[in-house]
Structure 1
Amino acid sequence: MSKSLFQKPIEIKISTVVAVSAILATADRLALDAALAEMTGGTTDFFEDDLTVIDVAALPAGGAPVDWGGLIALLKKYRLNPVAVRNAAPAMAADIAAHGLSLETASAKPKDEPTTPTPAAAAAPVVAAQAQPPAAAGNGTEVMIIDTPVRAGQRIYARGCDLVVTAVVNNGAEIIADGSIHVYNTLSGRALAGASGNAQARIFAMNMAPELVSIAGVYRTFEDGFPSEFARAPAQIRLMGDRIDILSVNPATRA
């Protein structure tokens, strides 16, 4: 009997989807355009059609209304793919839905949880920053291990745990972990640690040459190349306040 007779027409399984947040401090599209142009440095593939949640919590009260159609077009210009809006006022709901976006309510942080720093959040018109926090963070005892190369276009997310990669992470690949990231090979793609807001997470690599790194939503890019004193050598990356630090495995040197 044909195997196809036993196959279901459709299956629904739980899947982890990672998005970025576009945190707006203004609805002025000219200001947003200028900020995104500066952020990406003219790199057309800085974002790779990343699913994007627009966070409007920081918009000034009584400010100009959001031109949702124009905003969506602007984000897509920079290869950000808006799918939802967070922290929208009830009066915005109908207009948001009319533009095909869903509404999302951000989960409240526990009172004793520190606020995740984001670079120049008060001054920057937009901060396209942190990966969406998963439902639960790990306790530090679990690890996801990847033994095969991570190729361009691939994205790996270690939800609630550390990520260990023993093979090369190629340019155009993206690895994400709620905990720390350890690459026992060459790291040439994008690495985002502490994705659920863990500012103590770090990124380690035996051969460090990333395109972009992030700790707890704070980003640093390397359009002009990774600092020569650390390039192609064992190094670690950590967050100090709102600054990304690069150190050798022996942290006597820092950039």
Structure 2
Amino acid sequence: MSTPSPTPSYEQAGELKIGQVGVANLRVRTLDVDALVREMRERVERAPKLFGRAAVIIDFGGLIRTPDVDTARALVDGLRDAGVLPVALAYGTSEIEALSEQLGLPLLAKFRAQYERSESAPAPAPPPPAPVAAPEPAKPKAAPSQPGMVLKATVRSGQQIYAEQRDLTVLTSVGAGAEVISDGSIHIYGPLRGRALAGAQGNEDARIFCSAFHAELVAIAGHYKVLDDVPRALHGKAVQVWLEDGQLNIAAQD
């Protein structure tokens, strides 16, 4: 009598999902490897819990010329020595695509798109005037905006919450080691001890409000401050965070 064949298993050994992740983007504006590594080392030393072994995307899109592979590899190695982990290049040109292959790093297009939206662009040429006799075209209806995301439970250490294309309201608190991200503004009706990143897709008008400021890091449209950068007089206070003329401002609320 033959032994029956075992029933094949279709259970996956690993479940792969694509989600929002907190990854830092290093926009290279001056190709000075020593200066870039020194600056990164200083960031890690000032806030090791935030930047130590942090994943970093390297963006060469702000340079006139794409660096050669030896210079790029020296930067990657230097950043690793400084305490962070370069994981990809930000997509830009065919030269950057070739460079990523030489370095053995993937390309991520998302970060280039953010800069292209946030950086100033030349104003488009005005359309030619319509003929006097032509009727005025009907205005298209505005697309409905998504309602804000509201969280009733505490955001605990290790959790990451992302409100895509909308504001985020947390009715309780954000614990140390937790991260809340929003493409709009963030309102926290309790202590903020973790990280809050508003305007994640480049919205410089976004703001952060919290009832008790103990944040490890706050950021708006990529401009950030860590707790050590904030006057001690504001620690534990109800504050508002906003961006003005490229500077991140934090002030107590009345």
Q: TM-score, structure 2 length as denominator?
A: 0.73
1:154 maps to which residue? 159
Summarize the alignment of residues 102-181 of structure 1 with structure 2, pairs less than 5 Å apart: 102-105=106-109, 106-107=112-113, 115=119, 141-181=146-186
1:242 maps to which residue? 246
2:73 maps to which residue? 69
Q: Structure 1, residues 152-175: CA drift from partner, whole Å, max 9, x if none?
A: 333222221111122322222221
| Higher-helix-fraction structure | 2
Separation (CA, whole Å) in 2 of partners of 1:139 and 1:45: 40
Equivalent in 189, 203, 207 of residue 184 of structure 1 = 189
Q: State the shift of 1:9 in Å.
A: 5.5
Shift in alpha-carbon separation, 1:140–1:200, aligned structure 2, 3 A: farther
Runs ≥4 in structure 1, deviation > 6 angstroms? none
Identical columns (%): 32
1:80 maps to which residue? 84
Shift in alpha-carbon separation, 1:39–1:50, aligned structure 2, 3 A: closer
Unmatched 5+ stretches in structure 1: 117-137, 251-255
Q: 1:68·1:96 contact (CA, 8 Å) conserved in 2?
A: no
Aligned-residue RMSD, C-alpha: 3.2
Separation (CA, whole Å) in 1 of partners of 2:115 and 2:24: 18
Q: State the shift of 1:40 in Å.
A: 4.0
Unmatched 5+ stretches in structure 2: 1-8, 121-142
Q: State the shift of 1:195 in Å.
A: 0.6
Equivalent in 31, 43, 58 of residue 27 of structure 1 = 31
Quick one: which amino acid aligns to residue 215 of structure 2? P
Quick one: which amino acid aligns to residue 198 of structure 2? A
Shift in alpha-carbon separation, 1:104–1:114, aligned structure 2, 3 A: closer
| Higher-strand-fraction structure | 1
Q: State the shift of 1:107 in Å.
A: 3.2
Q: State the shift of 1:183 in Å.
A: 1.0
Separation (CA, whole Å) in 2 of partners of 1:193 and 1:108: 13
Quick one: which amino acid aligns to residue 242 of structure 2? R
Q: TM-score, structure 1 length as denominator?
A: 0.73
Q: Which has the higher contact order (CA 8 A, sep 6+)?
A: 1
Q: 1:163·1:179 contact (CA, 8 Å) conserved in 2?
A: yes
Aligned length: 223
Quick one: which amino acid aligns to residue 31 of structure 1? A
Q: Which has the larger radius of gyration?
A: 2
Quick one: which amino acid aligns to residue 47 of structure 1? F
Separation (CA, whole Å) in 2 of partners of 1:172 and 1:10: 26
Q: State the shift of 1:34 in Å.
A: 1.7
Q: 2:47·2:226 contact (CA, 8 Å) conserved in 1?
A: no
1:209 maps to which residue? 214
